[in-house]
A and B are shown apart, each in its own frame.
Chain A
Amino acid sequence: MELKDYKNVFVFAEQREGNIQSVAYELLGKARDLADTLGEKVVAMLLGCGIKDQAQKLIEFGADEVIVADCPELKDYLSEQYTQVVDQIIKERCPNIVLYGATTIGRDMAPRIASRLKTGLTADCTKLEVVSDEKSNGEPQFRQTRPAFGGNLMATIICPNTRPQMSTVRPGVMQKRQREEGRQGIVTNFVPKFDTSKFKVKLVETIKEDKAMVDIADAKILVSGGRGVQNKEGFDKLQALADVLGGQVSSSRAMVDNGVMPHERQVGQTGKTVRPNLYMACGISGAIQHLAGMEESDFIIAINKDKFAPIFSAADLGIVGDLHKIVPMLTERLKKEIEK
């Protein structure tokens, strides 16, 4: 079989407890772009138990076909069971590209499959594109861009000689398409053939995480408050915003010293150094000790009444204004955005 005979863009549609994860729709959005450029189809793989009914939703988010493997063995994610099924589907259907979510499921299974198929896999891609240019001799080439060296460098990876070409993508990186209700597509039932002698791992129980203990250094989104927040009630407003964004609340030293916030939430010289994807500094003037702890954040938004506050020199977006008004309004607005 030649490379050009491998066709279509496949997406592993991750579900947990029967709920299709947002990352699956995001991948479908990107898969749609890639497939359209290549003139190929988007195929979703949906594995689970009692999930057949949800195939239509994947079609409405961009899949042309959904391959459903619905059986008790696939109720919970287990490496070997899922690998066997995805491997069988890929071997039967010979896709050109396969995308997985870079989650604890996708990052567990995709390398296992890559190794079984002896093909390439690129982790945590932030950009995926199909390009035909002089560097690819005019042929469409799948280029996968990802960060390396702790995000200090970006690398574009290609997989020229083996198929399928596979990538994982973190949740939140790609954009979902607008849902197209009533969109038509094919749902194909797949009956896996399990080699049960390989099932050596048994699920004893699943413990729902209590995320009460948080380390702000691990948080991807931080809503941080300083002297301008004033008191506990002020921080409640920040907490509401953090909840909507799925982030955590942190604090400047001033609000720790006066006992409003605990020390483990403190950012800066005598607190923690953080580098989240989003750092929202609310009512923080931006003393050097504070900046030292957060200036490496990917994106910094500052809200402060004082337009000369040094925090604005570190911010990507600065808003001169009253956080006590802006933060609640923003929270309400974001609630509506996210419901959409």
Chain B
Amino acid sequence: MKRLVLGGNDAVAYAVKQSHVDVVSAYPITPQTSIIEKIASFIASGDMKARFIKVESEHSAMAAAMGASAAGGRVFTATSSQGLLYMHEVLHWAAGASLPIVMANANRAVAPPWSIWAEQTDSLSQRDTGWIQFYASNSQEAYDILFLSFRLAERVKNPVMVCMDGFLVTHTKEPVVIFGDEIEEFISVKETTPLLEVDRPKAIGALAFPQDYMPVKIEQHKRISSALAEFKTLSDQFEKISSRRYDPVYVYGEENADIVIVAMGSNAETAHLAVDLLNRDGIKSKLVKIVMFRPFPKDELIKAFEGAEKIAVFDRNISMGKGGITKDEIVGALGINNVVGIVCGLGGADVTENDMVKVAKDILEGKIQEDMILWGGR
């Protein structure tokens, strides 16, 4: 193992290189492009043995990934924002066909106005496509979760999306532990079975009348839901190799907190600092980070919120006419009423630890009682 200074995009490219991927099909888009550029250079130099399929759009990138995956290959692609949205229809197809494709998404705000900066509305608006979704908050997580994602996708036969906030994770370079051969025993296990076989012809996605459609969808829901338990099993194996632990929900700070800060992606890094400041001021606080968003980690969140007086959910995303998306998911799944949603950081706007501390204190003092939009002008 060695430590290198890498951005999230670099880290993802290294993980793909080490994951015995057979096919990469992708179309460039900022701030994802440096992932596939690096992969293309690994393939060109012979450091990575995979087929790179250049396509004319994201819709085709996912269609090509489906074909390669259906033939039994380990497949990777990457996109962002407008590209992900252009892929939308095929995302449903890939998940419905139980294809274990792994995709990195650089979270970028959706136009208009045109923006290339961080926001999670792009991938959260793909919430219902049947993809497993992870949110990495730093380069190390992006690297590690990629390995776990290939194994998980193949174990549960479901595609996985690994999301990183644009620039704040994708391009922010920091020390990352890169595996040598240690990862081989974990990542060389392929549980892929070709959906399409020459000797056993069949069709995928045929017409299903109502009596057939429901059972297929029930099966699909069970399949993706099983990812929570399977992730833990794989995470146990991964921890033995790396000494790093990944759970659907990550917790930092004090038990029975006066205030819980919930964050996903890059905000969760800064939130550590907010929790430290609050605890220093004698306010018991805790960070709850959502690492796995789909399937939704309801039981893990119930446990993480035990004894919490107030919960502040910071969302770098928005459902227009409703508010923060993870806040809504939490309230919907847990049926709790001590939650305040804070929409913040849209289009790459800064969210600082001092912003979080102020909101937390204002909630505890009763100054903030309703969901809000945090906008300090930078």
* Chains A and B are bound partners: no
